[in-house]
Amino acid sequence: MHGSHAMNKNRDLDLLDRLADAASDAILPHFRKLPGVVNKAETGFDPVTIADRNAELAMRELLAAERPDDAIFGEEYDAVAGTSGRTWILDPIDGTRGFMSGLPTWGVLIALADESGPTLGMMCQPYVGERFVGGAEGATLTHNGETQPLRTRPCADLAEAVLASTGPQHFEPQDYAAFQQVATRCRLVRYGTDCYAYAMLAAGQIDVVVEAGLKPVDIAPFVPIIEAAGGALVDWSGQRIGPTLPHGFAGQVVAVGDPTLLDAVLAALRAA
């Protein structure tokens, strides 16, 4: 039993890498097309949309061949039902605004969930060549063929914390007022982070992420990555996000690298 369990885990990890390879191959030809090399056949059609859709189709094709019994919940196309109790959650390009602007801050997000929520997740940045992976075996970053463990850093005081969020323009006014209550108490606020915010929290470089208006696919892989790295991921009321995914997620996220910081962040959000 234990051997077959371990073998399935390895097969999942292997498939995760192959899904990321397929998505990367579909996306990279469309990234940062310089004006001199625009493919005229694509005039009038958004290269982000093409890259996004082609990458999700490539991943769905691989899943249909390899895991016909698993469900699929993706960003671009309708959900596919399954019989195994397991669901693949796909966001081919998270951070499309960063992608559109040519910045290396977007990522391919892939998670595998069961009835308890996401148990395995990956963020892949194909241009930089990075893969952040988390699951029961722990959390790791692979870059240039080298793999190292991811661990969040201690930060017991909000006044010492680095806070990240994609941008003030992504909050509703009331949510922004709550975010500001956290921001004014932190040492530093960093915007424009997209999925890198959660990856860098897992890597011990950022202490707090506060966001709202997210979709399930935006956050699913970071549940196993951040929890395996030592952090916590909850909604603004303090409930764990994992069990709400891929359905029933209201879009509000608080992630902390040091779980002892959670009460201070939630209290600041309530102070608005």
Q: Is 37 a residue that touches its own copies (CB under 8 A)?
A: yes
Nearest in space to 122 (alpha carbons), one of 146, 96, 150, 144 = 150
Cβ atoms 143, 129 nearer than 8 A: yes
Using the minimum distance from each CB to its own copies, give the nearer residue, 9 or 127. 127
Q: Is 44 a residue that touches its own copies (CB under 8 A)?
A: no
Give the distance from CA 47 to its chain's centroid. Answer: 22
Cβ atoms 120, 16 nearer than 8 A: yes
121: which residues sit within 8 A by CB, 6+ positions away?
Answer: 109, 110, 111, 112, 133, 134, 135, 220, 221, 222, 223, 224, 225
Three-state secondary structure call for residue 159: helix
Quick one: which of 53, 86, 153, 240 contacts its own copies (CB under 8 A)? 153
Q: 241 a known binding residue? A: no
Using the minimum distance from each CB to its own copies, give the nearer residue, 7 or 28. 28
Using the minimum distance from each CB to its own copies, give the nearer residue, 59 or 228. 228
Q: Is 24 a residue that touches its own copies (CB under 8 A)?
A: no
Q: Which amino acid is at 37?
A: V
Lookup result for tokens 């998270």: 94
Q: Is 29 a residue that touches its own copies (CB under 8 A)?
A: no
Using the minimum distance from each CB to its own copies, give the nearer residue, 90 or 210. 210
* Binding to its own copies in span 98-127, by CB under 8 A: 98, 100-105, 127
Q: How far is the CB of 255 from its own copies (least distance, A)?
A: 14
* Binding to its own copies in span 198-217, by CB under 8 A: 200, 203-206
Quick one: which of 113, 123, 141, 226 contacts its own copies (CB under 8 A)? 141
261: which residues sit within 8 A by CB, 6+ positions away?
Answer: 155, 156, 157, 158, 161, 207, 208
DSSP states of 106-141:
-EEEEEEEETTEEEEEEEEETTTTEEEEEETTEEEE
Quick one: which of 24, 87, 152, 252 contacts its own copies (CB under 8 A)? 152
Using the minimum distance from each CB to its own copies, give the nearer residue, 98 or 135. 98
- Applying CB under 8 A, the residues found at the interface with its own copies are 32, 34-37, 97-98, 100-105, 127-128, 141, 148-153, 162, 164, 167-169, 188-193, 196, 200, 203-206
Summarize the annotated binding site for Mg(2+) as residue ranges. Answer: 75, 91, 93-94, 218
